[in-house]
């Protein structure tokens, strides 16, 4: 092929990046013979941006295929901080997610839920959306501190709104029909090439058929939440555990060496999700002009009792009128009532019942995990003690 024809082909096959994982890791690029499956509509993506973009796109694509609803994900460092399908928000979630008075399409509701799972962790996230981005979703995205978005398309009005984002914001349009041409994937580590079959196992409700507990009830809402959790875990760095409720992730414990630490981390995040809907939190008297990010951090500190900045700057009124923190007993009382019907999923088997003991305190009623532990009987017994319904999926979902 003449050199004049090779240049356009090379431009399609490779994309130069700002740098690799760190600024000193340059040059960096992504490449694929035959052309990349996405277009850069704005900005210059980095190495981590594209890892998050490709991981999160697969997640929302699979969520939509499994549940036939628009889906969104908020990704940070190759794992989801939140993921959700789109359906209307409750009044308390509308306030907790700071979307009062906004026009929320189903896709916008999905992102509000994904971002709202853990708003502190989602600061500066990468966003994936399963559907063509409409203007309501773009207006929601414009308000949030984010690095970029990937979607199969953008309405002209939505693209115009996103062009107003800060300089450097990246917009990627992915080919929704793209599938990797080969079942094998490769990567190099320290000069050694690893090769394996891609994890192309689809997560469907068939994986929930083997219920091993005395309780057998798995209503439609529970199946939905278990599928949300399992699909999220498929694209989460292992070890990982996920708490889900109401069609969305509410707590992820990712990348821990011990599974009980995954469960404790996910449960703690889920507890905060529930507590952010407490009337005392929804009614916190923030001063006018306090940003959403400042509110997110202040609410997190308020509930953890570790605010690090002068509270007078945050609240209206005098020092004596500053809001009283919820006591431990008040938090437990709220969780005992409000944290209910939660779904728990794990990317590998639970080796001990301590995971279920902690899950029970977080309102878990439904569980899906691969099974296969030497102590499966003890784990099943724990579920039976708490009245949980547990399915063994038989499918491990490690990601490294």
What whole-number distance in Å separates Cα of residue 253 and Cα of residue 346? 10
Q: Which residues contact 159 (CB under 8 A, 6 or more apart)?
A: 41, 133, 138, 171
Residues pairing with 188 in the sheet: 193
b/e code 156-175 from CB counts within 10 Å (16+ = b)? eebbebbeebeeebbbbbbe
Q: Please choose, from the candidates 126, 118, 139, 142, the residue with its C-alpha nearest in 3D space to the C-alpha of residue 74.
A: 126
- H helical segments located in 305-375: 328-338, 354-361
Classify residue 228 as exposed, middle or buried by CB count within 10 Å of its CB (0-12, 13-18, 19+): buried
Q: Please choose, from the candidates 261, 269, 337, the residue with its C-alpha nearest in 3D space to the C-alpha of residue 303.
A: 269
Catalytic residues: 76-77, 239, 400
Q: Which two tokens stand for residue 379?
A: 């784990």
What whole-number distance in Å separates Cα of residue 78 and Cα of residue 30? 16
Q: Which two tokens stand for residue 12?
A: 């399609």
3-class SS at 343?
strand
Q: Which residues contact 41 (CB under 8 A, 6 or more apart)?
A: 154, 159, 171, 172, 173
């Amino acid at each position: 092929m003449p050199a004049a024809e090779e240049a356009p082909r090379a431009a399609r096959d490779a994309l130069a990046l700002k740098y690799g994982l760190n600024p000193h890791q340059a040059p960096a690029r992504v490449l694929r013979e035959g052309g990349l499956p996405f277009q850069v509509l704005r900005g210059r993506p980095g190495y981590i941006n594209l890892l998050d973009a490709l991981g999160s796109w697969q997640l929302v694509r699979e969520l939509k295929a499994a549940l036939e609803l628009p889906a969104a994900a908020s990704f940070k460092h190759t794992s989801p901080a939140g993921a959700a399908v789109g359906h209307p928000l409750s009044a308390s979630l509308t306030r907790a997610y700071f979307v009062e008075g906004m026009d929320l399409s189903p896709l916008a509701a999905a992102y509000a839920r994904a971002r709202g799972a853990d708003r502190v962790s989602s600061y500066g996230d990468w966003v994936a959306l399963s559907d063509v981005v409409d203007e309501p979703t773009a207006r929601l995205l414009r308000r949030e501190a984010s690095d970029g978005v990937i979607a199969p398309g953008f309405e002209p009005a939505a693209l115009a709104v996103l062009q107003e984002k800060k300089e450097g914001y990246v917009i990627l349009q992915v080919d929704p029909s793209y599938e990797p041409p080969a079942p094998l994937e490769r990567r190099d580590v320290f000069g050694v090439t690893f090769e394996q079959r891609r994890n192309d196992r689809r997560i469907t409700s068939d994986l929930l058929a083997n219920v091993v507990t005395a309780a057998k009830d798995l209503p439609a809402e529970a199946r939905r939440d278990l599928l949300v959790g399992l699909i999220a875990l498929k694209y989460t760095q292992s070890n990982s555990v996920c708490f889900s409720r109401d069609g969305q992730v509410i707590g992820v414990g990712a990348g821990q060496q011990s599974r009980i630490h995954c469960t404790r981390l996910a449960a703690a995040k889920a507890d905060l999700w529930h507590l952010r809907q407490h009337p005392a939190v929804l009614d916190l008297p923030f001063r006018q002009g306090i940003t959403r990010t400042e509110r997110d951090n202040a609410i997190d500190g308020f509930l953890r009792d570790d605010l690090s900045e002068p509270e007078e700057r945050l609240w209206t009124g005098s020092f004596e009128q500053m809001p009283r923190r919820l006591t431990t007993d008040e938090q437990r009382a709220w969780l005992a009532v409000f944290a209910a019907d939660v779904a728990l999923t794990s990317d590998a088997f639970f080796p001990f019942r301590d995971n279920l003991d902690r899950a029970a305190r977080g309102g878990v009623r439904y569980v899906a995990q691969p099974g296969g532990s030497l102590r499966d009987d003890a784990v099943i017994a724990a579920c039976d003690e708490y009245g949980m319904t547990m399915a063994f999926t038989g499918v491990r979902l490690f990601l490294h």
